[in-house]
A and B are shown apart, each in its own frame.
Chain A
Amino acid sequence: DAKTTQPTSMDCAEGRAANLPCNHSTISGNEYVYWYRQIHSQGPQYIIHGLKNNETNEMASLIITEDRKSSTLILPHATLRDTAVYYCIVGDNAGNMLTFGGGTRLMVKP
């Protein structure tokens, strides 16, 4: 079973920030939070990951709560091409397989 819970769907206006929440209350100390997204009929694409600290890259920012039981993926200026299913995944850093939950279907609207 997936270790994360996410809203089924969200809408966001083009150009605005998209904030995607994820709960992972059973995360253990050595587990990371990974975010991937899947555009329709394509393979998933890595976005970002983190352990304890907030992280930022060219695609997004990841905010992890101090107790690590939840996190938020932020797309600062959503575009129509960001419409996708976003998966929050908890896993180790040993290269093991990823367990996908239901994800959040983000719809960016003009």
Chain B
Amino acid sequence: GAVVSQHPSWVICKSGTSVKIECRSLDFQATTMFWYRQFPKQSLMLMATSNEGSKATYEQGVEKDKFLINHASLTLSTLTVTSAHPEDSSFYICSARDLSVNSYEQYFGPGTRLTVT
């Protein structure tokens, strides 16, 4: 099946700094990617839908100026957590669907664990 990668797999940063997380579709093109956040012992929560060549669509309660999403190519979306605070510490996961095949499967990245100290 198709593969989605994320980089970095984990990151520790100081409060007030910004962190960029990359999501790549390795062997397919993805016009749409999704960003999720997962706190410990909780389910995944959709943060935003990333659209290639246009602005991302954010879910209610997600600050678009804090979580900057850029989807500049068909294989790469980035999520930048700006001015990170300890409450932003979480597991961030992206997903994408290969629309070139008749598949209903969404492919998820391995996740990025962010710890803000």
The secondary-structure label for the interface of chain B is strand
The answer to whether A53 has its CB under 8 Å from any CB of chain B is no
How near does chain A come to B102, taking the closest CB pair, in angstroms?
10
> Restricting to B48-71, which residues have a CB under 8 Å from any CB of A?
49
Set B99, B105, B109: member contacting A46, Cβ < 8 A = B105
A residues 8-60 touching B (CB-CB < 8 Å):
32, 34, 36, 38, 41-46, 49
Nearest CB in chain A: distance from B35 CB, A: 9
Is A99 interfacial (CB 8 A cutoff)? yes
Interface size grouping (class) on chain A:
20 to 34
User: A74 vs B107: C-alpha distance in the bound complex, in angstroms?
Assistant: 22
In order of increasing CB-CB distance, the 9 nearest A-B pairs are: A43-B108, A46-B105, A100-B44, A95-B97, A100-B43, A44-B108, A97-B34, A43-B110, A43-B111
B residues neighboring A (CB under 8 Å):
1, 4, 6, 32, 34, 36, 43-46, 49, 91, 93, 95, 97, 99, 104-111, 113
